[in-house]
Structure 1
């Protein structure tokens, strides 16, 4: 069974006054990728980034994993 998560990227970026375009540029991703990683449908993220991109986001944002993603239990 695949683990499910909910993205909190939009809320985190908004709280810091930062844009998805800024994040995308800093981690070497496209704005479309970051947009997909930040979208939730039915309480679950639509598209999950690779571990490499997650690590880059955490480093660039100076945050913890729990700040940008939340585990969803069925």
Structure 2
């Protein structure tokens, strides 16, 4: 989609914060934090693309739904550990 719009991807792998506690609950909490960051990014993308590029806005909306579902699943799994 980026190339189609005339852009060039610059692949970057986001740093994963170091953790000392490798319990399943803590790892899931870290994953949930990552899902939350992704949701925030896609909300921003949707806000920027709305009214300017329908294809990007639709992509952002789909990703918000997908990441929102992941986030909710993570919350439920973490709640099961409590």
Q: TM-score range by the shorter chain?
A: under 0.3
Give the number of the structure whose residues are more often strand, by fraction: 1
Q: Which has the higher helix share?
A: 2
Does 1 or 2 have the higher relative contact order (CA < 8 Å, sep 6+)?
1
Larger Rg: 2
TM-score, structure 1 normalization: 0.27
